[in-house]
Amino acid sequence: MGTPSETVVLVTARSVDDAIGRAARLVGRPAAGARAEVVDPGRRVLSRFFLRPMVVRVTFPDEPLVEETAPHARSPGQEPLQDGGGRREREGGEAPAGAPVTLERPTLARVRNGALEILPGSSEQPAILRPHRGVTLRVNGEPATGPVTVTAADRVEVTFTEPDRPADDEGERYRILVARDAMSAELVVPLQEVTVLRDTAPAPVVDLEPVTVLRPPAGLTVEEVRAALQRAGVVHGLDLEALEQAVREGSPAPRIVARGTPPADGRDGRFRPLVPAEPRQARDDEARRRDPRDHYPVVSVREGATLGFLEPPTPGEPGRDVLGREIAPRLGRAIRVICGPGVVRTGTPDGREEFRAVRPGRPVFQKIGRNAWNVDVVPLLVHEGDVDAESGHVRFKGDVVVTGNVREGMKVTATGRIHVYGYADRAYLQADGDVRVDGGVVQSRVVAGARVGLYADLKAVLPPLRQGVERILEAMRVVEGAASFQRKDIARFGPGRLVRLLIDMKFGDVRAKARAVHERLSQYEGELDYDVERLRQPVEALATGAIEDRFDIQGLSAALKQAEEFLGWFDGDGTAKAIIGYAHNAEVFATRQVVVGSEGTYHARIAARDRVIVQGAVVGGSVEAARSITVLEAGSPALPSTVLAVGAGGTIRVGYAYENVWLRVGHVQRRLRDAQRNVHVTASSFR
């Protein structure tokens, strides 16, 4: 900023020297003694060309200096500019001393999209137009034969020596093509050669150079083409964006400007299986976290399970071509489902057709041709080879046949029967029907008629548990009625805390009764009937003490009552048999009968609700049956403790019994003091 005795001028220039000279001419002062300060260095390209000129503040003293070593000051490192700004007039005459002079922008010109534009600027610094060959200028109606200066106030007309080629006749300005199937309409807009000016950037001096470009016909409008499309019958599916682009840019190649709406064909009927062909991955991963051997790749279903349903065909949606005509869709075709002997077709109240299993087993879904399915339930699973860690546990709703052995740690469970051609070594076999092991059972557990046996045991242990739960409920009502009881605590935390407190302080026997039920439920591998299955979780919580605050003790009481009612009318088939080659340190149980081959049993526990037949020796362990036991030989010269026990009205028959063999009928038992042949023992034998 200057002092009151100085005159300050702002100018644009190519260099500092040029700025001082321009400022001196503007204020009528000599350049000698002027001081220059660069306010804005501008924008430079390639060290020589400037996109924006520099702005310099020039200060003149009131009295010119007589002696001056330099005509002006230059900023350190300042370089001259390629292009300079125009002169700016001071507004309002002479500027007061010390006030900067405001300058106007020079007039610039440019060519954009082939058209000349004069930008507003100072009339003192007009733009210069230099027409090239083939370009003629008229400024304010006067022809210009060479370079000419213009401002924004001037009227400039540009013509070309070689005019554009005349346009074709009106019919060739564009063409409309409708497809043979009337599903599309195309537009062709031929391009024609047009002479225009070459585009330039804004500058004080602009060269007007003619160039030839291809452009759509002049004067063609979207409204004109739309009217032509309507005359051609195109009334549906118009693409306005494509149409506007074709008119604006031209389209020598056909461009689609209207599309018909194709019909949506009807969907054929479908059969939707509700049972996966293979175990779901998520369930499989969850099972592997519990037991890495639980990954057998066969799915099975229980009797009455819903296997799938039918989706009826749909009629589809009609379409429309560009001429507005309706296009009929293809109707969906009905699907045919052939039911095997293990499946029945049923209907639901909402009209849906479902397919249900009439027997347990492996569901089979086989597609026949394009529009038919065969649905069945195969009640038999044949596992080829051994059941081991590679194959995984076998769990099947139906019958299972294992052609090999059941290896250590493996499980085979079935809702039907199990037949193992080999042996079972440290394994677990459970079937709701018969179990047969042609080889031996070594350190394994075999259960035949598991579900019926479990339900028979539950009939004895459920009533005491229900009575204990009802006593807890009665105690809770007494506590809640006490004056000191805070009901808000139950509302906030739930009844579980009070249940835990009552069990710990007074009703410890209820936990013991819950353990008895839990032990029996946990021994069964697989899914039970609904009224019994839903007892698993609450009874486990009661037995283990893991009672949460929201534990529903009233719900458990109701569930126990329903389970007792179910077991009361349940009349399962207790005729399951277990037939094995021999048993060694094993447990074998059957609801009806156990038959052991000629190799006998060794330190095993054999039990049946009806009878046990051992065609060989029973050495150590125990054999229990409700009605009768028939054994070829009992005990051994080594005198191991061997127990043969039947119910109160049962019979024991032994071909040869060594001493130290215990014979028990009902609650009465006797130990043999010496070896005996043809032993026949009943309840009357002990009188």
Mean per-residue pLDDT, 421-427: 96
Q: What is the pLDDT of residues 381-415, one digit of tens each?
A: 899 999 999 988 999 988 999 999 999 999 999 98
Q: Answer yes or no: do 241 and 344 share one domain.
A: no
The reply to whether 416 falls in a domain is no
pLDDT score of 93 more than 80: no
Tell me, what's the pLDDT at 419? 95
The reply to whether 86 falls in a domain is yes
Q: Answer yes or no: do 203 and 70 share one domain.
A: no
Q: Which run of H or of E encompasses 475?
A: helix 450-481
Comparison of pLDDT for 395 and 278, the residue scoring more: 395
Q: Answer yes or no: do 204 and 191 share one domain.
A: yes
- Identify the domain boundary among 533, 549, 569: 569
The reply to whether 661 falls in a domain is no
Q: What is the pLDDT of residues 179-221, one digit of tens each?
A: 999 999 999 999 888 888 999 998 888 999 999 888 888 888 9
C-alpha pair distances (Å), 422 with each of 405, 437, 465? 4, 7, 42
Mean per-residue pLDDT, 88-101: 44
Q: What is the pLDDT of residues 209-253, one digit of tens each?
A: 999 888 888 888 999 999 999 999 999 999 999 999 999 988 889
Q: HEC profile for 213-268?
A: EEECCCCCCHHHHHHHHHHCCCCCCECHHHHHHHHHHCEEEEEEEEECECCECCCC
Tell me, what's the pLDDT at 481? 72
Domain of residue 76: give its range. 1-104
Q: Answer yes or no: do 186 and 67 share one domain.
A: no
The reply to whether 650 falls in a domain is no
Rounded Cα distance, 652 and 672, in Å: 13
Q: Answer yes or no: do 52 and 176 share one domain.
A: no
Q: Answer yes or no: do 69 and 149 share one domain.
A: no
The reply to whether 399 falls in a domain is no
The reply to whether 171 falls in a domain is yes
Which of the four pLDDT bands, split at 50, 70 and 90, describes residue 288?
A: very low
Q: Answer yes or no: do 178 and 74 share one domain.
A: no
pLDDT score of 671 more than 60: yes
pLDDT score of 82 more than 60: no
Tell me, what's the pLDDT at 83? 39
Q: What is the pLDDT of residues 474-498, one digit of tens each?
A: 988 888 776 556 555 555 667 888 8
The reply to whether 16 falls in a domain is yes
Q: Answer yes or no: do 140 and 100 share one domain.
A: no
Which percentage of the chain shows pLDDT scores above 90? 51
Could you give the number of structural domains in the chain? 4
Q: Answer yes or no: do 66 and 168 share one domain.
A: no
Q: Answer yes or no: do 27 and 157 share one domain.
A: no
The reply to whether 584 falls in a domain is no
Q: Answer yes or no: do 144 and 96 share one domain.
A: no
Which of the four pLDDT bands, split at 50, 70 and 90, describes residue 104?
A: low
Rounded Cα distance, 686 and 412, in Å: 43
- Identify the domain boundary among 554, 569, 584: 569
Tally Cβ neighbours within 10 Å of residue 340: 14
Mean per-residue pLDDT, 293-322: 87
Comparison of pLDDT for 634 and 60, the residue scoring more: 634
At residue 79, the 3 state secondary structure works out as coil
Rounded Cα distance, 363 and 356, in Å: 10
- Identify the domain boundary among 543, 569, 595: 569
Q: Answer yes or no: do 134 and 78 share one domain.
A: no
For the chain, the average pLDDT equals 84
